A and B are shown apart, each in its own frame.
Chain A
Amino acid sequence: MTLHERLETVFQAVLGNDELVLTDETTPGDVEGWDSVAHINLMFSLESEFAIQFAGNELAEFANIGELKSYLQQRLGGRSAA
């Protein structure tokens, strides 16, 4: 699975919407149910999925999916699938 697919799978599971489609431009405002609690759920689930830890001040950030993806790519370095 590509990074994007893994991300999408986590979002679908946590937000309870298996038809959810993400693009790089997707923001929290575009997705039903992506409120502040869901955001925390997502961040934690991403930590598990990608075996990383966000620093405290990173948990609340990320303007859109593209930004989150480039962050993950950078963190994963050589480990990233695609």
Chain B
Amino acid sequence: MAGSLALQRADELRKDGRFNEAIEAYRQAASGEEIPPAEICLNLARCAHHLNQGEEACRWLRRLVDAADTFTPWQAGASLLEQVLASHRPSARRSARVAVLGSYTTTQFVGMLRLAALRWGIAVELYEAPYAQYRQEILDPAGGLYAFKPDFVVLTLHAAEAALPDYSRAPAEEVQAELDRWRSLWEVLASRCPARLIVHNFALPVESPMGHLASRLPGSRTAMMHTLNARLGEAAGETVSIVDCERLSALYGKRRWFDDRYWYVSRQAVALDALPMLARHTAAVLAADLGLSRKCLVLDLDNTLWGGVIGEDGLSGIRLGAGPEGEAFVAFQRYILQLKDKGIILAVCSKNNEADAREPFEKHPDMALKLEDIAMFIANWKPKSQNIADIASTLNLGLDALVFVDDNPAEREVIRQMLPEVEVITLPADPTGYVRALAESLLFESASFTEEDAQKTVQYRARAEIARLQGASESLEDFYESLQMRAVIAPFDALHLPRIVQLIGKTNQFNLTTRRHTMQQVQAFMNDDDCVHMYLKLRDRFTDHGLVGLVIARKDGDVLDIDTLLMSCRVIGRTAEHALLAKLCEEARARGCTSLRGTHIPTAKNVMVSDLFANLGFKRADDPAGAAESATHWIYHLQADGPVESRFIDVSSTDEERRHDAA
């Protein structure tokens, strides 16, 4: 195939570093394509980046967003964008500081959100909260979130975060309590910073042990989740934006939206391939909140609103109303009418004699759109670019408020070239696909709905105010209490050895010394009477996190020296380290030690623990001879400092005890 040969040639030029020639070759390979393939957009962006043409790179990355909706090109685009942004500020309609707080791994999502936002003309400055710490971040007035001073906070959640039982005899109360819990969190945020909150609602999992019965039982978790989503939407009102993930997951296909393999391996609650769609929709909502949604839809007529050409086929010859094609055109008109009803201005721009163009609006019985629905009607033989510019200036709108719909690819291309600010919908050849093409452009998201709802807004404001007063008293301590955390802390044993070695091998962030002990070394610790070794299992009212932390220490005279202290990132920010250290204090005393010594060896990844010993009450100590240069040493005097305090976690020493306590 000539196309793939041209592409191969372009790839070779790029790899040889002949970027200008490669750009030419890629453009040739893509010529004739209305939307160039994602791979070509990406490679053109790469070439531009190599040539230090940041704006051109951004332009191709924007096109990439339209060209693909799968993971790999988006991930590649997102990582390229990050590199481009290091040396280039893209031209944008707006800029915004966006904080993403999630209940699952959001690393991929944030990069894609930045890419999608760029497509909408928003230059985004990002803050990604530590893994699964959305609640801590909101409750801690001194945390990273508020220091970032966000304009927007995006809360990405998954269904397991809803504290609803599998079945309840009092579903209404249960849902109300859960709603209050979320509302009070929103209100704490609102009381502490002026950021607009964008919430991902809950995508309901497909598997339900109740089967179809679930939808008949108000007390089933499925039914309660539906109610909760609805109530969250009501509570959001005008003050909070919602990305309807329940609808998105259905639209995408729930079997593919949920991929448990990636949840188990990396706590990824949304399948990677679904993230581009989630990012795109989140960006569209963000754009609507920034007032960037389009305000006016400019419509072609022949083969766009009806089948055929009115000037040739005449009123009785155009296809509208009857037959599959005719019905599709009516459906498209009805959809447009609904857009008009929610406040979108309609204009007509057609190459026709004016009298011909008006005739169907006046006389055809199946026209859903009437002349009074159209704010400005232009039918003449002038270039459309000129007419569209006229429409913008007459209606006193910017060109960037306009969306152009035309079945003719040539007309679309002219407008893209001449009026790049105007959004152009790529209609499919088949009119039955028009509604979807327009809907999936996401160009008409609205942040709010008409004046009639003013009264409702007042009610919601009053309600939100009450919730704010209730919620503002909630503190981080209250949150820790509410988690009802229980831990098992016990010495290493053979049963847990594989998990222990795995944690030692892969924990990077909350790891004070990053010493990668092997299975044999750990077994040696276990056989050494001078060694203290303990693992920590943690559960709370929502989740059993399993074995997520451990400490290894060795008696050195009257000092207990901490060789290894680490925690899985699943449980960071829950005070589990306090529980572990409190227990270590007990062990130290039992062995006749008078102090604990801690070592911190900084790495590129464990920045989060650089203040850990100081926060636990350790004092900086002299570095012993022979210690690594970058390492710092810390001492904790058991007598003078008392035991390390752990207030929020009930600790037991065996699983049996824990199960017994819970029951």
Contacts and interface: CB of A to CB of B under 8 A. Distances in A.
A48 to B, nearest CB: 6
Contacts of A10: 72
B110 to A, nearest CB: 11
Contacts of A35: 508, 605
A40 B73 CA distance: 15
B261 A54 contact: yes
B14 interface: yes
A27 interface: no
Contacts of B73: 13
Chain A, interface SS category: helix
Interface in A46-62: 48-49, 53-56, 59-60
Given A16-B83, A18-B14, A44-B273, A55 B261 contact: yes
Nearest to A53: B261
Contact of A13 (B76, B105, B273): B76
Contact of A16 (B82, B266, B268, B273): B82
B262 interface: yes
A65 interface: no
Contact of A45 (B14, B15, B71, B260): B71
Interface string B58-93: 000000000000111101100110110000000000
A13 B107 contact: no
A16 B76 contact: yes
A64 to B, nearest CB: 16
Interface string B501-523: 00000101000000000000000
B46 interface: yes
Nearest to A39: B266
A34 to B, nearest CB: 12
Contacts of A56: 260-261, 264-265
A40 B80 contact: no
B108 interface: yes
B273 A48 contact: yes
Contact of A40 (B76, B83, B260, B266): B266
Given A55-B261, A56-B265, A59-B262, A16 B79 contact: yes
Given A10-B72, A56-B264, A41 B506 contact: no
Interface string B233-268: 000000000000000000000000000111011101
B272 interface: yes
A66 B334 CA distance: 58
Interface in B383-409: none
B42 interface: yes
A14 interface: yes
Nearest to A44: B272
Interface in B364-400: none
Interface in A11-43: 13-16, 18, 35-37, 40-41
Contacts of B605: 35
A60 B502 CA distance: 11
Nearest to B105: A37
Nearest to A56: B261
Given A13-B42, A16-B79, A18-B14, A45 B72 contact: yes
A39 to B, nearest CB: 8
Contact of A44 (B42, B71, B80): B71
Contacts of A36: 266, 506, 508
Contacts of A41: 71, 75, 108, 272
A30 to B, nearest CB: 16
A22 to B, nearest CB: 14
B71 A60 contact: no
A53 B265 CA distance: 14
A48 B76 contact: no
A40 B262 contact: yes
Nearest to B15: A18
Given A40-B262, A59-B265, A16 B80 contact: yes
B608 to A, nearest CB: 15
Interface string B181-213: 000000000000000000000000000000000
A27 to B, nearest CB: 14
B261 A37 contact: no
A15 B15 CA distance: 16
Contacts of B46: 18
A45 B271 CA distance: 12
B18 to A, nearest CB: 14
Nearest to B80: A16
Given A40-B268, A59-B262, A48 B14 contact: no
Given A44-B272, A59-B265, A60-B265, A14 B14 contact: no
Contacts of A40: 262, 265-266, 268, 272
B76 A14 contact: yes
A24 to B, nearest CB: 21
Contacts of A45: 71-72, 75
Counting chain A CB atoms within 10 Å of each CB, which of B15, B70, B72 scores highest?
A: B72
A36, A53, A54, A55 — most chain B CB neighbours (10 Å)? A36
Contacts of B82: 16
Nearest to A46: B72
B257 to A, nearest CB: 14
A49 B107 CA distance: 22
B277 to A, nearest CB: 15
A26 B123 CA distance: 37
Nearest to B82: A16
B82 to A, nearest CB: 7
A54 B107 CA distance: 21
A43 B83 CA distance: 22
Contacts of B75: 13-14, 41, 45
Given A16-B76, A16-B80, A53-B261, 11 more contacts: A10-B72, A14-B76, A16-B83, A36-B506, A40-B262, A40-B266, A48-B71, A48-B273, A55-B261, A56-B260, A59-B266
21 contacts: A13-B42, A13-B75, A14-B76, A14-B79, A16-B76, A16-B82, A18-B14, A18-B15, A18-B46, A36-B506, A41-B75, A44-B71, A44-B72, A44-B262, A45-B71, A48-B72, A48-B273, A56-B260, A56-B265, A59-B261, A59-B266
The 5 A-B pairs at the shortest CB distance, nearest first, are namely: A16-B79, A13-B76, A45-B72, A56-B261, A59-B265
